[in-house]
Amino acid sequence: MRHIHLLILVSLFGGLCGCISTDDQAGSDDQGRVNVVATTVPLGHFVEMVGGDRVKVAVLVQPGTNPHTFEPSPSHMRLIEDADLYVKNGAGLEIWIDRIIRANQKMLVVDSSEGVDLIEAPGPDHNAHESILTADPHIWLSPRNAMIMTDNICDGLVRVDPSNASHYRNNLDAYQKRLRALDAELNETFPKTKLKEFVVLHPSWGYLARDYGLEQVPLLPTEKEPGPRHLASIINTAREKNISTVFADPNFNPKSAEIVANEIGGRVVPLNPLAENYLDNMRLVGEEIAASLEA
Ligand SMILES: [Zn+2]
């Protein structure tokens, strides 16, 4: 009996000690990598593409979470305390950013949206006299914006780790070549399509639409479920334009997308704005939207 107790005690202590020593090393890890925290999965992916093996990246908004209603928890705040660099989306997505900045005053905060030409967020009933303009925060979903965002990320990494500046700039060049190739592909694809309008559940694709001459028709212009009048007007538009696809979003309830698809005898196709592999995902998004515009 005594034996067992002693064993348990030893293993408990072993565990505790292990925990404490890892905690102590956090901040700059044993390989001297830069600790980066990013708001979303695609932003974290951009940081990895530019940072390569010199960065350790953590993401706050995990897959399946709605980034517009996300709030950082105490465990998120602990990640922030160890960070050297925070990469925010900007464009109004992080309404809680002040809490992050207060939690770690030494960390550099990079606004990835700096220099991006912002567009207005779609609203339900636009009042012409309304003077407050809310930006559409879905900036990363256009390869042209992604080039600006990766520029900003590279500048931030160079500032916190100047001795590896050439490493970051080489990675940036290589990745931006791939982004330019994707942009060229999309430029080839969309001007040839018959239709220009595509129906989406959540309006994530405003920048993609702007950059390639398309128009998104959102079912959920706000976080609220759409009313019957809004649904009816979209069903009418879809019938008029011969639209047969409704694009859903895995981070949102698909109910209203299913209702509209049913009414128009069409199908629901999921597009994920927060997928990790940016280039593959954007190619897939381009193919799916283009296919719907040919139908
Ligand atoms: Zn969104």
User: Token digits for 267?
Assistant: 């199908």
- Rounded to whole angstroms, the Cα distance separating 116 from 112 reads 8
**Residue 272 Cα to ligand 1 middle (Å):** 10
**Same fold? 32-186, 188-294:** yes
Predicted pLDDT of residue 30: 66
CA-wise closest residue to 226 among 146, 143, 115, 123: 123
SS3 for 23? helix
**Residue 91 Cα to ligand 1 middle (Å):** 12
**Residue 282 Cα to ligand 1 middle (Å):** 15
Question: Is a pLDDT exceeding 70 seen at residue 201?
Answer: yes
CATH assignment of 32-186, among 3.40.50.1980, 3.40.50.1820, 3.40.50.300, 2.30.38.10: 3.40.50.1980
Residue listed under structure tokens 């109910």 = 255
**Residue 207 Cα to ligand 1 middle (Å):** 12
SS3 for 215? strand
- Rounded to whole angstroms, the Cα distance separating 171 from 156 reads 14
Tell me the CATH architecture of domain 188-294. 3-Layer(aba) Sandwich (3.40)
The one-letter amino acid code at 281 reads: N
Predicted pLDDT of residue 52: 98
Question: Is a pLDDT exceeding 50 seen at residue 4?
Answer: no
Average pLDDT for 44-64: 97
Burial 95-132 (b: 16+ CB within 10 A, else e): eebeebeebbeebbbbbbbeebebbebbeeeeeeeeee
Better-predicted residue by pLDDT, 24 or 239: 239
Predicted pLDDT of residue 9: 42
In the chain, where the domains are located: 32-186, 188-294
- Highest averaged pLDDT of the listed ranges 61-65, 177-181, 237-241: 177-181
Question: Is a pLDDT exceeding 80 seen at residue 93?
Answer: yes
Predicted pLDDT of residue 180: 98
**Residue 87 Cα to ligand 1 middle (Å):** 18
* pLDDT per residue as tens digits for the range 8-50: 444 444 333 333 333 333 445 668 999 999 999 999 999 999 9
**Residue 33 Cα to ligand 1 middle (Å):** 31
**Residue 139 Cα to ligand 1 middle (Å):** 10
* pLDDT per residue as tens digits for the range 167-190: 999 999 999 999 999 999 999 999
* pLDDT per residue as tens digits for the range 101-154: 999 999 999 999 999 999 999 875 544 445 567 999 999 999 999 999 999 999
Predicted pLDDT of residue 28: 58
Provide the mean pLDDT of the chain.
89
Residue 292, Cα to own-chain centre: how many angstroms? 23
**Residue 147 Cα to ligand 1 middle (Å):** 20
CA-wise closest residue to 121 among 214, 218, 200: 218
**Do residues 33 and 55 lie in contact, with contact meaning Cβ atoms separated by under 8 Å?**
yes
Phi, psi of 39 (to 5 degrees): -70, -50
**Residue 284 Cα to ligand 1 middle (Å):** 18
Predicted pLDDT of residue 50: 98
Predicted pLDDT of residue 224: 78
**Residue 216 Cα to ligand 1 middle (Å):** 13
- Rounded to whole angstroms, the Cα distance separating 191 from 182 reads 15
Predicted pLDDT of residue 56: 97
Give the DSSP letter of residue 129.
Answer: T
HSE (side-chain half, CA atoms, 13 Å) at 253? 8
**Residue 64 Cα to ligand 1 middle (Å):** 12
**Residue 167 Cα to ligand 1 middle (Å):** 33
**Residue 203 Cα to ligand 1 middle (Å):** 7
Predicted pLDDT of residue 226: 85
